[in-house]
Every structure is written in structure tokens, then in C-alpha cells.
Chain A
Amino acid sequence: MNQDWAVEATGLDKSYGDMKVLREVDLRVARGSVFSLLGPNGAGKTTVVRILATLLRADAGRAEVAGFDIVADRREVRRRISLTGQYAAVDELQTGEENLRMMGLLTGLRRADARARAAQMLEQFDLTEAGSRRVSTYSGGMRRRLDLAASLVGRPEVIFLDEPTTGLDARSRQRMWDVIRGLVDAGVTVFLTTQYLEEADQLADRIAVIDGGRMVAEGTAAELKRQVADQRLEITTRGAAAFDQISRSLGDRAIRADRAALTLGIATDGSAAHVRALLDEIDPSGDYVERFALHSATLDDVFLSLTGHTTRQQETADV
């Protein structure tokens, strides 16, 4: 048992038939931190969460959550975690208060305590007024907040949030982020999955990038950004020789390279000064670069720089 890690997993494998969903996933989450698993749809994020939350058995590998083995000590793990999935786990035909009270009773609270805890959670999540209304009357954002509140009734140590803001509008998302930040202040460990780079950036202490069931990178937001930057300078070279020359001098800094199209991508902050400096550096004589364009870095750029392939067809917006 390791007291420093809220989640520690090694070599998690999972297949459905011939389809390998996870391959040797290793991860560690420090207690009291926010960890974000970032990846596109179908990368295996939900599978990781379901395995760690004891809902799904891995084919190979082992993991401890809150200091207990997820297979051997499943009950102990379940007593210490909560899971908020992509589908709200609240009853539409119950009121917000009834949903919370039910969760309180199921976590072993007495009737009076469950009632008090429900009131407290409604207050904390800004739902006191809506508490006596049926959930079917709630907005999407309110429903997510209630869902999260319901998962917290039992005071879990480790909270799994599977895409907590997917499908929410910008304001509700912002509000959800505030709520999640509040959780961290309370000292719990948050394990969240997301497809949004910005969300991971806003919330997470450490980010792991998953793609095709494989961990492709792990680090702080700043570390990952260093690989991707906010913008990408895309240059088209004048001929294959020029391409090879620049490609060689850039080395790892070329986050994408397409020899057939004679294009190379380089991370930049997008400022005129930096772009000018870059162009001067790679093409001092002005003979090699034919054209250039600036693209906003997307999650795809993270994947591209980390995995060498895109998740979907790249859109280009020339400047």
C-alpha cells in the first residue's frame, strides 16, 4: 500500500474480442491532486475509469485506488470512491433533494443525517431552490451539478469524473469547473477524463494523454504545451531538397511533416516576433520557404505531435 498515490495502475490491458481497447496503461495520481486523462472519443478513457472504479475487470495488470487493490479489496475501494459518468445517474421523477437523500441512505447514513447532508449538498451546489423540484425540470447544467453532488454525498476520497462537461454550454462548463476546483480545495483527489485540452489545462495538476488505448504522454499542462504551443506555423518548402534540409535542422521541433505536400509544422506562440525569428532561423537566405500559414493548435496537434497521426481530418484555416 502506497500512501502517496490515490491511484496507481500498472500494465492495464483490456480487449473486447479482437479489439484491443487498452494496452499496458500505467498511471499514478498523487493524493489531493487533479489528474486529467485527455484523449479523443474512443481512446479508452471511459474504459480506464470503469476499471479503476471497479465496474470492469482488466484482462491484465493491477491497480490500487485509495490504497486498496481494485480486485482483491473491491469493497474497500468502493467505499472510498465515487463515479460520475457521462449519463446523469439521477432519477428524473425524484426531486433533487430526494435523490441526494437516497444516496445518503445508501452510503449508510441515518435518516436524519441523510436529510441534513442532502440540504448541505444542495446549498453547496447552489441548488437549494431547485431541491424540491423534480429533476425532469432541471437544465443540463443543474442536472450535472446534482449528479456530482449525489456522487459526493458519501464523502469519497477519490472522485472519478468521466467527461463532466461534455455537452454543456460555455457558461455551465465554467460553473462546473468552479465546482470541481472547490472539490480540490476540500482535499479530495479528482480523476477526470476529457476531450478538451482547455479543460485539462484549467483544472489538472497533471495530464496524461491517451490514444488508441495507449498512454502517449504525461506531464503538467505547461510541459505538454511546450510540445504543442498555442499556434502552429506551417511552411511549404520550395522543393524536396529544401524540405529535407529544413526537416533535418528542425529535428524534433517539427510537430508535423508531410514530404509529399512539402509542408512542415512548427510550434509557435503566434506572435509576429516569434514567427519572424523562426522563419529567419530555418530559412536565413529566403530561398527555401515558399509560403507559410498559421494554424491554431488543436487537441489534434497534441496527438499529432505525440503520436504522429491525427484523430480526424485536419481543418486548415490559413491566415
Chain B
Amino acid sequence: MSDALTMSARSIRLSRRNVDALITSLMLPIMLMLMFVYLFGGAIETGSEYVTYVVPGVILLCAGFGSATTAVTVSQDMTGGIVDRLRSMDVGGAAVLAGHVAASVVRTAASTVIVFGVAFLIGFGSDAGPLEWLAVIGVLLAFVLAISWMAAAIGLVAKSPEAANGFTFVVMFLPYASSAFVPIDTMPSWIQGFAEHQPVTPVIETLRGLLVGTPIGSSASEALAWCAGILLVSVALSGVLFQRRTA
């Protein structure tokens, strides 16, 4: 446990100093949000102010992208010399990966707060009370943990940090085929099935419901089920993969 804390402090410090990655994970969601609100927003009919519709999606994209970079940091450790050193010191895989995930949570929390700030500046309004905000934090945390552990597992498989970086693109594009930017019923019917049932959609619908009061329905339980499922599989898988990668 104390190893995990030490490794977390290390990963957070490394994240903080990796200025390029930090700026990318901040700028990208903000640019996307501005682009969708000001460039595409006028042409998209969602039944409400577009900024109100799109912010939950952008927040999720920000959280997903930030978490996905865990694949890169894990891969850097696995392909460098540090993993051998740590293992020969009997620092377990769980501590190493937990450190990366902790850093991911901190990193993503910071960028999400900033993206929320920008959203309010450009006219996003929320009627969420303290309880709803707590729930928003809970849902985002569950999502970030799930994606971060999945990214950690990907980072263990990737042959290089560059290859691991591919995962961040997959995660970044998932929200496009969801209700993040446009309502699903405007999509061609063959993709609606995917968009409705992929993990990102219930998470977004839950956030949207909590923040702006749209109906949530079964989205919340679906969202949590997805997150819990991804988390469990990823943690178990990364345990096996760490063993195998370092055997």
C-alpha cells in the first residue's frame, strides 16, 4: 500500500512535468467544445441551446482522453528500464499501475474542472444542486477509473508508447458515435444500435440528466454497470498481463 502511494506521488509528479501532454489534454477538449458550439452548433437541432446539449459530451471526452493517456505512461515504464528495477525491488505490478491510475484521476480531475470553467464562460448553465454535483463527480470518477485501468491494460500490451497512443484516439472517437454531439435519432439507423448501446452514451445521458435535468431513466444504472464491468475486467486483465509481460 505504501508502495502504491509512493508510485502515485511519482506518477503525479511526472504528469505535472510533462507539460506537452498536459496542454494537449486540456486544449483538445476546449478546442472541440468551442468548435462545436460556435462552428457546428448553429446547424445542429437538439431542442435546446446547443451549448447546453454539448457540454456533458465534451466533459466526457475530456475525461476519456485524459484517462486514455495512461496507456502511454504505462507503456513508457514497461519499455524503459524502470520496470525491471522496480520488480527486482519487489514492488508489485498493482502498485506500479495504481500509481499511474491515481495520476490519471488527478490529471483528469484538473482538466475537467478547467473545461467546466470554460463551459460556464461561454454560456453553459446548470440547475444541478449539491447532490447532483456529487453524483456528477461520482459518475465521472467511475468512468475515469474504468478507462484508466483499461488504458493501463492496453499500455501493458503495447509494444511502444507510440502504439499505446493509438488507444487515446479510439477513446477520443467513441463519443462521436454517441449522443455526445448530436442526438442519436439523427444518425443513420445502422449506427443507432451501436450508438445507443456503447458505454459512452449512458454515461453522457446520466451527466446530462444530472446537469441540465433531461430524463435519465435507466442510463444511470447502465452507466455504472458499464464502468464497473470495464473496471473489473481491466484490473483482472492487467494483473495477468503484467505477470506475462514481465515473466
Contact = CB atoms under 8 A, between A and B. Distances in A.
B81 A86 contact: yes
A151 B6 CA distance: 17
A87 B81 contact: yes
B89 A107 contact: yes
Interface string A47-87: 00010011111000000000000000001001101111111
A55 B246 contact: yes
Contact of A91 (B2, B10, B84, B89): B10
A98 B17 CA distance: 13
A220 interface: no
Nearest to A99: B10
Given A89-B81, A91-B82, A93-B14, A82 B3 contact: no
- Range class of the B interface residue count: 20 to 34
A88 interface: yes
A167 B85 CA distance: 20
Given A93-B17, A102-B6, A105-B6, A88 B88 contact: no
A60 B225 CA distance: 46
A150 interface: yes
B91 interface: yes
Interface in B114-138: none
A206 B182 CA distance: 72
B13 A83 contact: no
Nearest to B9: A102
A94 interface: yes
B246 to A, nearest CB: 7
B14 A85 contact: no
A3 B90 CA distance: 23
A106 interface: yes
Contacts of A50: 84
B3 A94 contact: no
A106 B247 contact: no
Nearest to B79: A87
A131 interface: no
B87 A55 contact: yes
Interface residues of A, number: 34
Given A53-B88, A55-B246, A94-B14, A89 B82 contact: yes
A86 B84 CA distance: 11
Given A55-B246, A88-B81, A94-B14, A106 B88 contact: no
A119 to B, nearest CB: 18
A91 B14 contact: yes
Contacts of A81: 88
Contacts of B6: 102, 105-106
B80 A89 contact: yes
B82 A151 contact: no
A82 B86 CA distance: 10
B82 A54 contact: no
Contacts of A105: 2, 6
A154 interface: yes
Nearest to B14: A93
A19 to B, nearest CB: 17
A106 B80 contact: no
A102 B85 contact: no
B90 A79 contact: yes
Interface in A222-269: none
B13 A85 contact: no
Contacts of A79: 90
B13 to A, nearest CB: 6
Contact of A78 (B7, B10, B88, B246): B88
A5 to B, nearest CB: 20
Nearest to A160: B88
Interface in B54-105: 80-82, 84-91
Contacts of A88: 81
Contact of A106 (B14, B86, B246): B86
Contacts of B13: 93-94, 98
Contacts of B17: 93-94, 134
Contacts of B247: 56-57
B18 interface: yes
Nearest to B17: A93
Interface string A157-169: 0001000000000
Interface of A: 50, 53-57, 75, 78-79, 81-91, 93-94, 98, 102-103, 105-107, 134, 147, 150-151, 154, 160
Given A89-B86, A151-B85, A160-B88, 10 more contacts: A54-B88, A55-B87, A81-B88, A85-B81, A89-B81, A91-B10, A91-B82, A103-B89, A105-B6, A106-B3
8 contacts: A55-B87, A57-B247, A85-B85, A87-B80, A91-B82, A94-B14, A106-B3, A151-B85
